[in-house]
Amino acid sequence: MRVGISGMGRIGRLALRAAMGAAERPDDDPRRGNRLEVVHLNEIKGGAAACAHLREFDSVQGRWRSTRVAADGPHGLHIGERRLSFSAHAQPADIPWGDLGVDLVLECTGKFLTPARLAGHLQRGAKRVIVAAPVKDDSVLNVVMGVNHRRYDPARHPILTAASCTTNCLAPVVGVIHEAIGIRHGQITTLHNPTNTNVVHDAPHKDLRRARSALLSLQPTTTGSAAAIALIYPELTGKLDGHAVRVPALNASLTDCVFELQRKTTAVEVNALLRASAAGSLAGILGFEERPLVSIDYARDTRSGIVDALSTLVTDGTALKIYVWYDNEMGYACRLVDLACHVREVDSAP
């Protein structure tokens, strides 16, 4: 399966790293050998030279030292011994995926979030599109790897979404707790790093809190990650909600989960459940950490979320608080690649 990436921002660039095996996955990750044959990149800003430079040098994730990256004129890049073609088209329908031999597109622009706007990729020859952002449409399968990826059906899902970084962090934890104990309702707060939707200095923005400098303030804002859990667990529709707070730290993020449970439990039982899942069915996706670490220690972590076991609290038997760390860039980029590899495996099955 030949892959193209449209949108070479934070997630697109890191998905390319992960696709080429440059992400530092843990030894127990059963997907650590996942690779994709990326053949084409599309980005409207900066040209091939800027994209090559930003692939090698990254202020948050560090320099890509293992592989030489260089522009090859305006329409190509060399990454190691491989040449990838490059374009700067603004619309999906302008990218000639069929002529390029691309089967699957990783749509990482963050701009095309409806089936109608994404259809251009399919019309130009791509067979599958995976969107690196939530798509609010029932026809688009909302996938969290390790939780519901087996719902993918090639006959029904030409377009899929890998949900959001926070939903990928939250859903495995919700799944473990809900299936073993039961969740009545809950609320989450994600303390989230700034992204390129934030501003460095005060500037006009429809969200007046995001109009302020991301370098200087904590910024309460919205998140749809908790409500999106209902797409995976319909019985929790209307039972989970949450907020986000953008914080002036570049990496990593933290989700604070508070759940009212259906039966009494203890922090010891909850941690035992999460530890077992992290070592078992969710290895490489969910982590479990008992050391007293801080946010920077989770930078470049490829897992979707890592439970901070020292912070697990249970009050009066049924009120549960869990902290889950996550690198909202690298972890999510790796899940994009894992989902693409899963699609490739299912599509190639006899």
Which residue has 């972890």 as its token pair? 331
CA torsion 229-230-233-235 (nearest 10°) is 140
pLDDT in tens, 242-284: 999 999 998 999 999 999 999 999 999 999 999 999 999 999 9
Q: Select the more confidently predicted residue: 75 or 307.
A: 307
pLDDT confidence band for 308 (50 / 70 / 90):
very high
Q: Are residues 170 and 47 in the same domain?
A: no
Q: Are residues 149 and 174 in the same domain?
A: no
Q: Are residues 182 and 294 in the same domain?
A: yes
Mean pLDDT across 28-57 = 93
3-state secondary structure at position 297: helix
Judged by average pLDDT, the poorest of 184-188, 225-229, 303-307 is 225-229
Mean pLDDT across 74-88 = 91
Mean pLDDT across 77-85 = 90
Distances (CA, A) of 9 to 51, 195, 336: 9, 10, 14
Query: Percent helix, strand, coil in the chain (nearest 5)?
Result: 30, 25, 45
Q: Are residues 252 and 146 in the same domain?
A: no
| pTM of the predicted model over 0.85 | yes
Is 165 among the residues known to form the active site? yes
CB atoms within 10 A of CB 45: 10
Q: What is the pLDDT of residue 74?
A: 87
Q: What is the pLDDT of residue 22?
A: 85
Q: Are residues 137 and 209 in the same domain?
A: no
Q: Select the more confidently predicted residue: 250 or 192.
A: 192
Q: Which stretches of 38-142 are DSSP H helices?
A: 47-56, 97-100, 115-123
Q: What is the CATH number of the domain that holds 238?
A: 3.30.360.10
Count Cα atoms within 13 angstroms, Cβ side, for 61.
Answer: 27
Q: Are residues 155 and 221 in the same domain?
A: no
Q: Are residues 71 and 190 in the same domain?
A: no
Q: Are residues 69 and 112 in the same domain?
A: yes
Question: What's the token pair of residue 254?
Answer: 């933290």
Contact of 97 with 51, CB cutoff 8 Å: no
Domain total of the chain: 2
Q: Determine the Cα–Cα distance for residues 9 and 51; give it in Å rounded to an integer.
A: 9
Q: What is the pLDDT of residue 224?
A: 86
Q: Are residues 153 and 9 in the same domain?
A: yes
pLDDT in tens, 123-172: 999 999 999 999 989 999 999 999 999 999 999 999 999 999 999 999 99
- Parent domain of 127: 2-164+332-348
Burial of 268 (0-12, 13-18, 19+ CB in 10 A): exposed
Q: Are residues 141 and 216 in the same domain?
A: no
Q: Which of 51, 165, 169, 334 is catalytic?
A: 165
Q: What is the pLDDT of residue 12?
A: 97
The residues facing 76 across adjacent strands are 85
pLDDT confidence band for 219 (50 / 70 / 90):
very high
Q: Are residues 158 and 205 in the same domain?
A: no
Question: What's the token pair of residue 124?
Answer: 């130009």
The type of residue at 301 is: D
Q: Are residues 24 and 153 in the same domain?
A: yes
Mean pLDDT across 35-43 = 97
Q: Determine the Cα–Cα distance for residues 328 and 89; give it in Å rounded to an integer.
A: 27
